[in-house]
């Protein structure tokens, strides 16, 4: 757990913000008893809950304020200089997205309706928080396993809303824009097109969604899930469609089952378009974002001894080629 003495500092070379302070996070998941996230727990800081059709269960998925938030919604970022450096207070939002009211109903063993409810709840939170012009980016992620930094035993993901765009997303946004400037096409659509034609790295196609291993993986068995039809914003996909999102829920569940035949520990992260109410200092204001960016999930499995190495490396080392990884994932024995 982090203390509240954290602040944001900008790396002047890479121009990326980091959250920093003296405390280090506690590595083991918290085992509250009774569990604070289970259906019958009284969590006063509920933000939003989704309806459920299951009898005796009050909600299907819900969002609550993180018990020890890294970011807080009150106040102004108070951005200030420190010589050549920049720093600001950690203004934003930090929520726990409870995936299911039942303790062990995870994204790989819940039913597709429950997973769809969770995805729509996540989308609703992104949409709501994007209404706050101070917030530049909303991240949704799940850390599962001790080496992944899992915090709670209950089936949960987390949301952070920040006054800056995280580094990895910033790289993707810039790269997507550069590619579009040259070719007037979305780089992700081009990747999907080529992968579907070649069939070398496709894990599974399901309706409008594809699961695939990237050409240049950062970790073994890295897998992405993307919509096959262009869309920059996850929440727009989630909240505008009526039927098709069930396929995404199903593909996410099946892909996590495949990953779990390799390792139980992984990071899952959603990459979607940033808040475009105002231009940002690092991205400027540009009109093609809806054309040049393409939302997706990334799954980064953690394989034993190699777990800690990749976060420190400048050049990722991945000892399993995606063409090999995809075979094992495709052939994995999973539920229907
Ligand atoms: Zn629980
Ligand atoms: Zn696209
Ligand atoms: Zn991404």
Q: Note the pLDDT tens digit of each residue in 2-55.
A: 344 677 888 888 777 877 776 545 556 666 778 889 877 766 577 887 777 667
Ligand closest to CA 230: 2
**Residue 100 pLDDT level (bands cut at 50, 70, 90):** very high
pLDDT at 2: 38
Domains plus CATH for the chain?
A: 1-336 (3.30.428.10)
CB atoms near residue 46 (< 10 Å):
13
Confidence of residue 113 (pLDDT cuts 50, 70, 90): very high
More reliable by pLDDT, 153 or 24: 153
Cβ neighbours of residue 94 under 8 Å, at least 6 residues apart?
Answer: 65, 66, 69, 70, 71, 72, 158, 159, 160, 161
Contact residues for 6 (Cβ-Cβ < 8 A; gap 6+): 19, 20, 21, 23, 70, 90
pLDDT of residue 242: 64
Range of lowest pLDDT (194-198, 310-314, 327-331, 332-336): 310-314
What's the pLDDT at 28? Answer: 61
Question: What is the reported pLDDT for 312?
Answer: 45
Average pLDDT over residues 57-85: 84
Dig out the tokens for 122 from the structure. Answer: 């996540």
| Ligand 1 midpoint to CA 219 (Å) | 30
- Looking at residue 280, its pLDDT comes to 62
Length of the chain: 336
Largest Cα separation within the chain, whole Å, is 60
* pLDDT at 182 > cutoff 90: yes
What's residue 206's pLDDT?
Answer: 96
Mean pLDDT score, 167-186: 93
The whole-number average pLDDT for the span 269-295 is 82
Residue 1: predicted pLDDT: 36
Confidence band for 285, pLDDT divided at 50, 70 and 90: low
Mean pLDDT (the chain) is 86
More reliable by pLDDT, 241 or 120:
120
Report the candidate in 87, 88, 94 with the shortest Cα–Cα distance to residue 73.
94
Q: If you measure from the C-alpha of residue 119 to the centroid of ligand 1, how many angstroms do you get, rounded to a whole number?
A: 19
In this predicted structure, what is the pLDDT of residue 311?
Answer: 47
pLDDT, tens digit (0-9, with 9 covering 90-100), for 211-263: 999 999 989 999 999 999 999 999 999 998 665 789 999 999 999 999 999 99
pLDDT greater than 90 at residue 309: no
Q: Listing from the earlier edge strand, what are the strands of the sheet with 266-271? A: 46-49, 62-65, 92-98, 156-162, 137-144, 266-271, 296-301, 223-227, 209-212, 202-206
Measured distance CA(224)–CA(241) in Å, rounded: 21
Is the pLDDT assigned to residue 169 strictly greater than 80?
Answer: yes
State the distance from the centre of ligand 3 to the C-alpha of 35, rounded, in angstroms.
Answer: 32
- Of the ligands numbered here, which is closest to the C-alpha atom of 37? 1
pLDDT at 98 over 90: yes
Give the HSE-up count for residue 308: Cα atoms under 13 Å, Cβ half-sphere.
3
Q: How far is the CA of 32 from the centre of ligand 1 (A)?
A: 8
Tokens of 225: 């899930």
Reduce the DSSP state of residue 182 to 3 states and report it: helix
**Confidence (pLDDT) at 44:** 59
Q: How far is the CA of 35 from the centre of ligand 1 (A)?
A: 4
The Å distance, Cα 55 to ligand 2 centre, comes to 40
Distance 303 CA to ligand 1 centre (A): 27
């Amino acid at each position: 757990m982090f203390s509240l003495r954290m602040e944001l500092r900008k790396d002047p070379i890479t121009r990326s913000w980091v959250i920093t302070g003296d405390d280090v996070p506690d590595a083991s998941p918290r085992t509250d008893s009774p569990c604070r996230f289970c259906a019958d727990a009284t969590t006063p800081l509920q933000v939003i809950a989704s309806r459920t059709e299951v009898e005796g269960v009050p909600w299907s998925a819900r969002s609550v304020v993180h018990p020890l938030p890294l970011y807080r919604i009150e106040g102004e970022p108070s951005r200030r200089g420190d010589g050549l450096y920049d720093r600001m207070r950690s203004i934003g939002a930090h929520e726990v997205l409870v995936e299911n009211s039942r303790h062990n109903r995870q994204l790989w063993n819940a039913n597709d309706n429950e997973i769809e409810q969770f995805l729509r709840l996540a989308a609703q939170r992104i949409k709501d928080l994007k209404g706050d012009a101070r917030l530049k980016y909303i991240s949704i992620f799940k850390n599962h396993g001790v080496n992944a930094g899992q915090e709670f035993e209950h089936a949960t993901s987390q949301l952070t809303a920040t006054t800056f765009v995280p580094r990895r997303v910033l790289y993707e946004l810039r790269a997507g824009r550069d590619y579009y400037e040259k070719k007037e096409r979305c780089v992700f659509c081009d990747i999907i097109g080529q992968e579907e034609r070649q069939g070398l790295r496709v894990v599974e196609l399901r309706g409008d969604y594809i699961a695939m291993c990237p050409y240049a993986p950062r970790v073994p068995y890295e897998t992405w899930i993307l919509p096959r039809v262009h869309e920059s914003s996850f929440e727009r996909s989630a909240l505008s469609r009526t039927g098709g999102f069930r396929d995404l829920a199903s593909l996410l569940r099946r892909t996590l089952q495949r990953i779990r035949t390799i390792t139980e520990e992984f990071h899952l992260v959603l990459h979607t378009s940033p808040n475009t109410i105002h231009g940002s200092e690092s991205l400027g204001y540009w009109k093609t974002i809806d054309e040049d960016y393409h939302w997706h999930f990334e799954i980064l499995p953690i394989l034993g001894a190699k777990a800690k190495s990749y976060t420190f490396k400048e050049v990722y080392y991945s000892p399993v080629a995606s063409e090999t990884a995809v075979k094992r994932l495709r052939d994995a024995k999973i539920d229907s």
